[in-house]
Amino acid sequence: MVGFRAGDVPPTATVKFIGAGTAACIADLFTFPLDTAKVRLQIQGEIKSPVNTSHGPVKYRGVFGTISTMVRVEGPRSLYSGLVAGLQRQMSFASVRIGLYDSVKQFYTKGSDHVGIGSRLMAGCTTGAMAVALAQPTDVVKVRFQAQISAGASKRYHGTMDAYRTIAKEEGFRGLWKGTGPNITRNAIVNCTELVTYDLIKDALLKSLLMNDDLPCHFTSAFGAGFCTTVIASPVDVVKTRYMNSAPGQYSSALNCAVAMLAKEGPKAFYKGFMPSFLRLGSWNVVMFVTYEQLKRALMAARHNWVTPL
């Protein structure tokens, strides 16, 4: 009997779903400090509000300057503020966004072997919007924690569940879905750029025989996808972060937030936190996609061993 190789059989939807969520959580554990630094840089410079009054005297300069300032002022644990909500977000968000991508892509191609760019884009937009609709409350809580100065006694939230309760009590149930519009826009862009670019780079490398379907190919594809995504999605990401972290009534809409940013801080404000965003997304993509590819193979091998009699 010929030995089984996990790559011989396409992974099932369940394997992709579980693998994507698990891989995304692992990637978040490695890259969360960069994400927190990105949020702090993105909200720096906006009008002070009850949510972030303590940000006034703190100035952040660059990704590593931001990280060192946070460690000095708030302690090393501040870099992982909001991690619980972040992992909740990834387990629900990435499972849908990435785990269902191939299945939705096949739905749009109606079983055809040819997969055009249109089908890839449609699949990316669909799974991105589905993921936001499901995971938005976890994203709101994550951003609020990352923006909150940990030093002193003025902390607004004292735990993940406390944050969910406080937001629902003070802002209503809709407060947990604040920023859904810009987040859907952002994730449609991120999903399309990230997954489609990863898909296209990987396909190009394999078809040109430059690389095999292994670790170097996955690394190259993921890093390229991270750079393209950061360049395209940064403006929407900054607006999303500002709007989700804003006090009730500070902005009438996400568009109002964008206009206020442009008027007060100029066009460069839309690329605040670009370097930590790229470092985070590039490294997150590498860890996530490489782990995801390996997990798919391991889970398929385990599934084969379980269903195949001895």
Q: How far apart are the first and last CA of the chain?
A: 12
Digitized pLDDT (tens) for each residue of the chain, 310 residues in all: 444 454 556 777 788 888 888 988 999 998 999 899 988 888 876 644 433 444 445 678 888 888 999 999 889 999 999 999 999 998 888 888 877 888 888 888 876 777 777 887 888 788 888 888 888 999 999 989 988 876 555 677 888 999 999 999 998 888 898 888 888 887 777 777 877 788 888 888 888 888 888 888 888 888 888 888 888 888 888 888 888 888 888 888 888 999 998 998 898 888 888 888 888 888 887 888 788 888 888 877 776 677 565 5
Q: How far apart are CA 300 and CA 310, in angstroms?
A: 17
Contact 54, 110 (CB under 8 A): no
Buried b / exposed e along 17-32 (16+ C-beta atoms within 10 A): bbbbbbbbbbbbeebb
Q: What is the pLDDT of residues 60-117, one digit of tens each?
A: 888 888 899 999 988 999 999 999 999 999 888 888 887 788 888 888 887 677 777 7
- SS3 label, residue 1: coil
Tokens describing residue 227 = 């750079």
Over 274-295, what HEC string results?
HHHHHHHHHHHHHHHHHHHHHH
